[in-house]
Structure 1
Amino acid sequence: MLTKNNTKFIKSLQLKKFRQKEGLFIVEGAKNTLELLNSSYKLKYLIVSEDFLSRHQKEINSSDIEPIIVKEKELSALGAFQSNTDTLAVVHEKAPLKYNPSGFDLVLDDIRDPGNLGTIIRLADWYGIQNIICSETTAEFYNPKVISASMGSIFRTNLYRRDVKAFLSENNSRKVYGALLEGKNVHQVKFEANGILVIGNESHGIHPDIIPLITDKVTIPKIGQAESLNAAMATAIICDNVFRNY
């Protein structure tokens, strides 16, 4: 049974300060929850509709938590997305990971938009990029919009919060590719398998302090009249070129 105190507590986790205080975050929707149940994350609560329970009894039974069954109307009022009538989970954050190099890495310098961050996480998962190193000013990993946009990929990707300048300095033996307007045409670049791709802020690009650490500047050639590409779109185009010859 979902008590009033539980409801109040879960709703409080929509705010960053309470997520950080409790070390908990919310996962909403069928797709993200099923990916969560198949991961190593630990759940505090799993709240489901009767319909979701009947469709996914096997997956729920394989977890070590007893689901709380509620009406669909209660579910839609509980989380950040009113369209969610399937399930909501309250999940323990993982302790910060120790960085372990694993092929091509992605570095995000001040990506503020949660939707962009979630989409980039999904892109990284698609291309098999395991490590995403994020600046201190990049959006919070467990923001509900990040979780939603990642479509479950956040549970398969290693996310690190680091000082980007320090990280690149520590990895100065590797090629560092930076998405910049004055770079080489991305279609003409041969990327190294253990390289690092830096994507900058949506409005201002890569921070000036980081640019001296970029060994190879790359750009996406503009053919039409669009003013710009958002960070997630640019990441997708460059990643496709990175892995095209693999």
Structure 2
Amino acid sequence: MLTAHKIKILQSLDQKKFRQKYNLFLVEGNKTIKEIPASPYKIREVFSLNPAELHFETAVAAEISAAELKKISFLQHPKDSVAVCELREEKLQENTGIQLILDGIQDPGNLGTLIRLADWFGIAQIICSEDTVDFYNPKVIQASMGSFVRVNIVYQNLENFLQKTKNPVIGTDMEGSNFYQFAFPDRFNLVLGNEGNGIRPEIEKLLTDKITIPRFGKSKATESLNVSMAGGIILGQIFKEK
């Protein structure tokens, strides 16, 4: 039942401190919600305009009105349903191929897009710095378009993590080698830096190689590429060679 108290709790889940307090986050839209039972995440409750469209063994969808859906949705134009899900325990997996290392990504849309890219290219794990935006942020979940259920995302002290890794650490840098001519190994860490500042110095010194996307246009007005755009270009080239 969607009581006033429950509405208040669900509305508070747009903030990290309340997601951690209640150990909950929201997923919106039937398409993504239907993928959750086959993932490591557990659904606590579902609220829907049409519960008959959703069938789960562990949760029963409760019918709500469009007005109620608008109260608990974080979207400007709410979709059909909202699922209340439990946060899961982070587990660092062994790197068996390529993994993304994100250093201080702050924009939820960028993180969501990078999660979606990882899913598209079959990258199983993303390692985020501790100051990277929380991937349970509603905007990240929405931008990932359901890919968060298929990519393992963990937060680590990157300096400590990269000092221990046995795999090459390749990072983006304006002064790096032309990545179109770079021979990527089969197993490595790809570091992408903060939207405004790039990779921080203490992480940059741990890079084994630096790469850059060369500029072919003559205009100098575009100083750099969006980090998720750059990530997509690099991953496309890497997997073109495979």
Check whether the contact 1:107–1:133 (CA below 8 A) recurs between aligned residues. yes
1:200–1:231 contact (8 Å) kept in structure 2: yes
**Does the 8 Å CA contact 2:40/2:88 hold for their aligned counterparts?**
no
Q: Does 1:13 align with 2:13?
A: yes
- Give, in angstroms, the shift of residue 141 of structure 1: 1.4
Show CA shifts across 1:61-104 (max 9, x none): 24310111111232122121131130001110001213322211
Counterpart residue identity of residue 15, structure 1:
Q
Separation in structure 2 between the aligned mates of residue 37 and residue 76 of structure 1, nearest angstrom: 25
31-40 vs 121-130, which deviates more?
31-40
Could you tell me how far apart the structure 2 residues matched to 1:4 and 1:72 are? Answer: 15
Q: Which residue of 1 aligns with 2:126?
A: 132
Q: Do the aligned residues in 1 keep the contact of 2:55 with 2:61 (CA within 8 Å)?
A: no
Gaps of 5+ in 2: none
Deviation at 1:23? 1.1
Question: Is the 8 Å Cα contact of residues 102 and 131 (structure 1) preserved in structure 2?
Answer: no
Pair 1:213-2:209 in alignment: no
Q: Which residue of 2 aligns with 1:106?
A: 100
Q: CA deviation at 1:39?
A: 1.8
**Root-mean-square deviation (CA), in Å?**
1.3
2:120 maps to 1:163: no
Shift of 1:221: 0.6
Q: Helix, strand or coil for the counterpart of 2:47? A: strand
The DSSP-based 3-state class of the residue aligned with 1:165 is: helix
CA distance in 2, matches of 1:99, 1:37: 21
8 A Cα contact 1:99 1:160, kept in partner: no
* 1:240 is aligned to 2:224: no
Structure 2 distance, partners of 1:63, 1:87, is 17
1:196 to 189, 194, 201: 189
Unaligned runs of 5+ in 1: none
Q: Report if aligned partners of 1:72, 1:85 keep a CA contact under 8 Å in 2.
A: no
The one-letter amino acid of 2:138's match is: P
Q: Which moved more, 1:181-190 or 1:67-76?
A: 67-76
Distance 2:38 2:123 in 1: 19
Label 1:174 to 1:98 Cα distance change in 2 as closer, same or farther (>3 A). closer
**148-157 or 90-99, which deviates more:** 90-99
Task: Tell me whether 158-167 or 222-231 shows the greater mean CA deviation.
Answer: 222-231
Q: Tell me how far apart the structure 2 counterparts of residues 31 and 38 of structure 1 sit (CA, whole Å).
A: 13
Are 1:73 and 1:85, in contact at CA under 8 Å, matched by a contact in 2? no
Q: Which moved more, 1:223-232 or 1:146-155?
A: 223-232
Corresponding residue for residue 49 of structure 2: 49
Percent identity, please: 43
TM-score, normalization by structure 1 = 0.93
What is the rounded CA distance, in whole Å, between the counterparts of 1:148 and 1:61 in structure 2?
22
Helix, strand or coil for the counterpart of 2:201?
A: coil
Give the Cα separation in 1 of the matches to 2:79 and 2:169: 44
Tell me the amino acid that sits aligned with residue 134 of structure 2: E
Contact 1:48 1:68 in 2 (8 A): yes
- Tell me which residue corresponds to 2:24: 24
Aligned to 2:66: 72
Q: Which residue of 2 aligns with 1:88?
A: 82
Task: State the shift of 1:142 in Å.
Answer: 0.3
- Residues 64 and 158 (structure 1 numbering): CA distance in 2 closer, same or farther, change over 3 Å? same
CA distance in 1, matches of 2:17, 2:167: 37
Which shows bigger deviation, 19-28 or 223-232? 223-232
Whether the 8 Å contact between 1:46 and 1:65 is mirrored in structure 2 is yes
Aligned residues: 239
